[in-house]
Amino acid sequence: AERVFSGVQPTGNLHLGNYLGAIQRFVEMQKSHDCIYCVVDQHAITVWQDPKGLQNAIREVTAAFLAAGIDPKAHIVFNQSQVAEHAELAWVFNCVARMGWLSRMTQFKEKAGKDREAASVGLFAYPALMAADILVYRATHVPVGEDQKQHLELARDIATKFNNDFAESIASHGHNGGFFPLPEPLIQGAATRVMSLRDGTKKMSKSDPSDLSRINMTDDADAIASKIRKARTDPEPLPGEEAGLKGRPEAENLVAIFAALSGRTVAEVLAEFGGGQFSTFKTALADLTVSQLAPIAGEMKRLMAEPAHIDAVLADGSERARTIAAPIMASVKDIVGFIRSR
């Protein structure tokens, strides 16, 4: 059966890229699939997190999920550290994955920077934990932004190697045709890679020191309007057709955001705004962004005032996640050759 899993890190500054690349897609997938959505707090600590700030960020991502329209009763919403099977399977995967595979991950290279010796072991092993997040539920589909494509490929490599290395044991335990599915990335929508508002060649990111580079999910109407007004653009008016966006990353980005927020295609957006002034387009984009994000921000604020409710949602989701993960992890132990009490 098809099962959806995805996660978001509680590292503060949730932004429009997280919304359009991930959270909005999560909401969409609920209609057709059983979905498991995780606040990946264990991933967050691969770089230093202030403990109080981390708690707040975990609740904020949960609030964003709920405010955007994820139903925690029909689906599962929880935080990773409450389901020990993620870390257990990650250890097995650390022993399946190869140093060379992980060394090639561009996110590690970017986040570790020049001083690799000083990066945490967790930052290096991050993609093996991510593979475990997905496969501990034997999830088949993973909605993510473009930047996670390489990590998904690695998850497939790990699943393949596990299935091959343990083929005999897997068969002897009665699982036919491989134990883990090869999870498919779902990179969909008009804005799978939202770029910085200050530099169209860099992705919009939580960790960009400039707040003007991103639209936060909690920004108010004035902040959104002012950031879009200040967003970098080139002096040319918008083209009438898609081909005219080539070599104009800032314009391309803003048009893609408009398309994603309005549920229209890039061609449709350009048919309306092509040839006109950027200022006209920016005003329309600001209005559209406010109309989409303001209700979510308002609901997030309301939810954040009730931390006990959020924690209860996470506790309930964790319990339900565990009932799926525990038997799968037990099978993994049998397949690997560990002894466990029954």
Is residue 31 flagged as an active site residue? Answer: no
Q: Which of 149, 161, 206, 333 is catalytic?
A: 206
Q: Least distance to ligand AQP from the beta carbon of 180, Å? A: 21
Give every CB contact of residue 291 below 8 A, 6+ residues apart in sequence: none
Beta partners for 8? 39
Nearer residue to ligand AQP within complex by CB, 116 or 173: 116
CB burial readout 171-209, b (16+ within 10 A) else e: eeeebeebbbbbbebbbebbbbbbbbbbbbeebbbeebe
Residue 203 phi/psi, 5° resolution? -75, 150
21 binds ligand AQP, rule: CB under 6 A: yes
Q: Report the residue closest to ligand AQP, judged by CB.
A: 21
Footprint (CB under 6 A) of ligand AQP, residues 168-227: 192-194, 203-207
Choose which of 4, 22, 96, 296 interacts with ligand AQP (CB under 6 A): 22
Q: Which amino acid is at 140?
A: T
Choose which of 3, 4, 5, 8 interacts with ligand AQP (CB under 6 A): 8
Contact at 8 Å (CB) between 225 and 290? yes
Is residue 301 flagged as an active site residue? Answer: no
Number of C-beta neighbours around residue 326 at 10 A: 15
Residue 202 marked as a ligand binder: no
Q: Least distance to ligand AQP from the beta carbon of 176, Å? A: 32
Q: How many residues bind ligand AQP (CB under 6 A)?
A: 20
- 175: helix, strand or coil: coil
Residue 29 marked as a ligand binder: no
Span interacting with ligand AQP, options 20-28, 76-84, 266-274, 289-297, rule CB under 6 A:
20-28
Q: Least distance to ligand AQP from the beta carbon of 201, Å? A: 12
Q: Of the candidates 203, 259, 250, which has an alpha carbon nearest to the alpha carbon of residue 228? A: 250
Residue 130 marked as a ligand binder: no
CB burial readout 261-297, b (16+ within 10 A) else e: bbeeebeebbeebbeeebeebbebbbebbbebbeebb
Residue 219 marked as a ligand binder: no
Is residue 111 flagged as an active site residue? Answer: yes
Catalytically annotated residues: 111, 203, 206
Residues that bind ligand AQP (CB under 6 A): 8-9, 11, 17-18, 20-22, 144-145, 147-148, 192-194, 203-207
